[in-house]
């Protein structure tokens, strides 16, 4: 009997997952604002080349940061749970003067390692911009009854000069805010930015339960095609079966910039009505929004009143 070959032992393969954060995820909108804020800071001061400042985006574990990384590379480090702020403090010790360390964690990470938040708040050597994605504690992980976290009182007692609450879907206003905060960071001031209500799935569900109909984005025909028109024509002649794989849009900058796969796929049915795209600086003015969005308000009561009027 012929000897059978022993199968080679193979290590388990862990595959890269596709982007799976929600189309309107507030976390990624905030990170866009942070990076846009830095761009505006440099542009305003006409800083070029080696004079430019750069963001080091030090993130904690959490769905927004983890998923946000996969296709868009919006974060620079993610280590263990609760580590974002403390790793950031370490990086401040060894990074260049032209690097601005911005730390981001969820409210779970905030409570997990409150010590680190305090260390950053009390460290007189450096400034601090600490972004908290507040989905009211562990909503995403099963809807447990949350602890009450009073960022306004806690932030000040932890050493932060100001606690600023933002609607994450006001991407343009937030970019302006971060531009100013970078200036304050360089003056060694400490600010906590709390992005409230970032779980868009939760908000959409609540709005629906209250009878509020949310809107969706719309694109003009001009946007739909055709960066790849010549290639498309060639394919239509020679390889029509591959047509479906071609990108359909002119630039896709809005989808890439805001990390929104509803925009990327031009599919309003998966739009979560965050409204960030309303403020996106589309170069050809192709973007519009029809109806109510969470950029109008993240309060369901207010949205309800607005929908009646």
Nearest to other proteins of 88, 197 (CB atom): 88
Nearest to other proteins of 34, 212 (CB atom): 34
Nearest to other proteins of 46, 73 (CB atom): 73
73 binds other proteins (CB under 8 A): yes
The alpha carbon dihedral of 256, 257, 262, 263 has a sign of negative
Q: What is the dihedral of CA 147, 151, 154, 158, to 10 degrees?
A: 130
Nearest to other proteins of 106, 275 (CB atom): 106
What token pair was written down for 283? 């170069």
Q: How far apart are CA 100 and CA 121, in angstroms?
A: 16
Closest approach of Cβ 235 to other proteins, in Å? 32
77 binds other proteins (CB under 8 A): yes
The correct pick among 23, 28, 41, 92 for binding other proteins (CB under 8 A) is 92
The correct pick among 3, 8, 16, 283 for binding other proteins (CB under 8 A) is 16
E strand intervals along the chain:
54-59, 77-78, 99-106, 128-134, 162-166, 190-196, 216-219, 287-290
60: nearest Cα among 86, 34, 38:
86
Between residue 93 and residue 122, which ones bind other proteins under the rule CB under 8 A?
93-97, 99, 113, 115-116, 118-119, 122
Closest approach of Cβ 69 to other proteins, in Å? 5
Nearest to other proteins of 91, 286 (CB atom): 91
- Exposed, middle or buried by CB within 10 Å (0-12, 13-18, 19+), for 206? middle
81 binds other proteins (CB under 8 A): yes
Contact stretch for other proteins (CB under 8 A) within 5-13, 144-152, 216-224, 271-279: 5-13
The correct pick among 87, 129, 194, 276 for binding other proteins (CB under 8 A) is 87
Nearest to other proteins of 97, 148 (CB atom): 97
186 binds other proteins (CB under 8 A): no
Distances (CA, A) of 100 to 56, 57, 197: 6, 8, 26
Closest approach of Cβ 41 to other proteins, in Å? 18
Q: How far apart are CA 120 and CA 192, in angstroms?
A: 10
12 binds other proteins (CB under 8 A): yes
Q: How far apart are CA 121 and CA 128, in angstroms?
A: 7
The alpha carbon dihedral of 183, 184, 186, 192 has a sign of negative
- Give strand pairing partners of 244: none
Closest approach of Cβ 54 to other proteins, in Å? 9
What token pair was written down for 74? 């919006």
The correct pick among 1, 3, 9, 15 for binding other proteins (CB under 8 A) is 15
Query: What are the residues binding other proteins (CB under 8 A)?
Result: 11-16, 56, 58, 66, 69, 73, 75-83, 86-97, 99, 113, 115-116, 118-119, 122-123, 125
């Amino acid at each position: 009997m012929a000897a059978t070959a022993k199968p080679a032992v193979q290590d388990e393969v862990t595959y890269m997952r596709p982007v799976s954060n929600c189309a309107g995820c507030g976390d990624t909108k905030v990170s866009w604002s942070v990076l846009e804020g830095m761009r505006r800071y440099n542009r305003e001061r006409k800083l070029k080349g080696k004079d430019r400042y750069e963001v080091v985006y030090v993130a904690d574990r959490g769905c927004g940061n983890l998923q946000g990384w996969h296709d868009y590379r919006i974060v620079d480090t993610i280590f263990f749970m609760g580590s974002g702020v403390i790793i950031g403090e370490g990086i401040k010790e060894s990074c260049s003067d032209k690097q601005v360390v911005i730390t981001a964690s969820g409210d779970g990470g905030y409570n997990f390692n409150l010590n680190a938040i305090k260390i950053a708040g009390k460290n007189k050597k450096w400034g601090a911009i600490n972004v908290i994605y507040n989905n009211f504690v562990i909503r995403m992980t099963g809807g447990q009854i949350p602890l009450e976290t009073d960022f306004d009182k806690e932030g000040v007692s932890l050493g932060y000069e100001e606690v600023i609450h933002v609607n994450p879907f006001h991407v343009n206003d937030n970019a302006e805010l971060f531009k100013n905060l970078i200036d304050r960071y360089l003056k060694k001031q400490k600010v906590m930015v709390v992005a409230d209500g970032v779980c868009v799935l939760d908000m959409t569900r609540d709005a629906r339960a209250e009878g509020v109909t949310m809107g969706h984005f719309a694109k003009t025909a001009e946007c739909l095609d055709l960066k790849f028109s010549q290639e498309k024509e060639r394919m239509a002649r020679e390889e029509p079966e591959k047509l479906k794989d071609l990108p359909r849009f002119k630039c896709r900058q809005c989808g890439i910039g805001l990390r929104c796969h509803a925009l990327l796929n031009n599919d309003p049915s998966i739009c979560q009505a965050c409204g960030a795209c309303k403020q996106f600086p589309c170069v050809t003015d192709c973007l519009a929004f029809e109806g109510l969005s969470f950029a109008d308000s993240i309060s369901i009561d207010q949205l309800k009143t607005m929908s009646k009027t």
